[in-house]
Structure 1
Amino acid sequence: MEQQHPWRIVQLTDSHLYKDPSSRLMGMNTAASFKAVVDLVRKERDQIDYILGTGDITQDASIEGYNRFREAALALCPNMAWIPGNHDEAELMQRLPFETSHYSKIIDHEHWRIVLLDSSILKTVYGRLDAPELQFLGDALASAGDRHVLVTLHHNPIPSGSVWLDNHCLKNSEDFHAVIERHANVKVILWGHIHQFVDKEIDGRRYLATPSTCVQFAPQQVDFKADDASPGYRWLDLYPDGHIETAVSRVTVQLDVDLQSAGY
C-alpha cells in the first residue's frame, strides 16, 4: 500500500509582540516567549510545509512587531500566512511594506484547502464574520473540489467555558456554522484568541484551539484569570484521506507571568 505523506502545518498564535522587544504583557516578555516557542518548533519539527499565524500577532499593531513574527516564521519555513486578531489592524496587515503580504485567504494543496477568515473588528475585542466574509467562506468551500478543508479564524466559534472569554467570542457563530454545515468537506476548524488548549470532535469535525506563544488564560473562569501553563504551539499533519494528527507542545523554560493581573 502506498504510504500517505501528510501536509505538515505549524500554528503560532497570539504572540502579542510589541515594537519594543523588551516590552512585557502581564509580566511576560512576549518577544522572549515567542523566541522560546520558535526555538522549540525548530527542535521538534524537522519538516514544515506551512506556518499559520492565527491573530494577535502584535499587541500594538507595530510594523516592528509584525516583522519580528515574520522573520522568525520564515526562518522556520518559507511558506507563511497570517490573519488578524482583535489586537491587530487588518488593513495595516494588508499593506505592510514586505515583499510578500502573507495575507492569504486560500491556501491550496493537492488534497487539502486552508480557508483563512478575518473575524476581527477594529478596536473591538469580540469577533464577527460580516456578510462578504461568510459569502467568501461558502464560495471557498463550494469550489474546493475533492479537497478536504481546514477553516481558520481568530475568535472562538464555540464556547470556551469561561464566561469572560465567551463575551469576546465570534458573535455570529450561528451564521458561521450554518455555512460549515452545508459542506461535508470541512474537517477542521482552528482558532486562537482564548490562550487555551481545545480539542473536540463535533458532528465529525475537529475543533481545535491552541495556547498562546506568551501568557495563558486559566480555563473555566467567570472573570479574567491568568494561568501558569507554559507558552506553546500546535502542529498538524493533514493526510490525503482527510484524517489529521495534531498535538500541542509547550516550552519548558521558565518565563515570568503576573498571575495576579486583572486583565491585559
Structure 2
Amino acid sequence: MLRIGLCQLTSSDDPETNLKLIRDGVATAAADGARVVLFPEATQARFGGPLGPIAEPLDGPWAQTVAGIAEEFGVLVVAGMFTPSDDGRVRNTALITGLGEHRGYHKIHLYDAFGFRESDTVAPGTELVTVEVDGVKLGVATCYDMRFPELFRALADGGAAAVVVPTSWGAGEGKVEQWEVLVRARALDSGCWILGCDQADPKATDTEVNPKAPTGIGHSIVSDGFGHVHAHLGAGPEVVVVDIDPELATRARAATGALTNRRL
C-alpha cells in the first residue's frame, strides 16, 4: 500500500503565499501518514495573470523551498509550477520533489480548447515521467492530458500502477461531469489508479479570479482501475488521504484486458 494525500486548494497570484498553503497541506497529509502529497496544477500561482514573471527553474528559490518542505516531512511532493522555456514561453511543470527526487514533468497536451489558448504562452513537453515511491511506480500527467488515453496507457506500459494528475480544470456547462467521467475512463483505459487533484472552485471561498482562465472547479477524484471511486471531494478547499494498492492495478488489467487486447 502507498498512502497519498490530495490537497485541493485555491492558489493565489502570489507564489510566496502559496508556499504557505503547500506547507499546511503537507503537514496535514503527512500527519495522516501520507508518503506522497499531491497539489493542483498552477499551485505556484493561479492562471489568469502573466506567467513569464513568475516562472523559475527547478533549482530556483520557489522549487527549492518546496523541496525543503518535502524533506522536513519525509514525503514526495507533486505540485504545479511554471518553469522557463528556451523559446520565450514557459513550461507548465509538475514539480516532483522529496525522497531523493527533484525533477519535473512538463505538460504535454496544452489546453487550446473551450476558447482558451494555453500554447500562446506555454511550450509543450515531450517526455513521459514516472517516479517510484516505496516500490510503487507513479506516472505523472497534468490536467488537459486527461483527455488523451494514449498517454495513460503509455504510462501503464512503463509500469505505473497509479497516475497523479495536478489539475486546474476550466469551469463551464458540463465541465464537472466531463471531469468525473474522464478520471474514471482513464483508470479503465489503463488499469491504473488515477488521482486527479484539482484547484478548488474559487466561488466556494468567494475568491475573485480571471473569469476567462481555467481556475478550477474542485471535485478532486481518486479512481481505481475498475472505475471504482475511492474519494470524491466537493467544491471547496479540502485535504484527503487515500491508500493505493498497486496489486489492484494488476488485477484490473488482467480482468479488463484493456492493455493486452489492443489492436491499434
TM range (shorter): 0.3 to 0.5
> Under a length normalisation based on structure 2, what TM-score does the superposition of the two structures give?
0.46
> Under a length normalisation based on structure 1, what TM-score does the superposition of the two structures give?
0.46
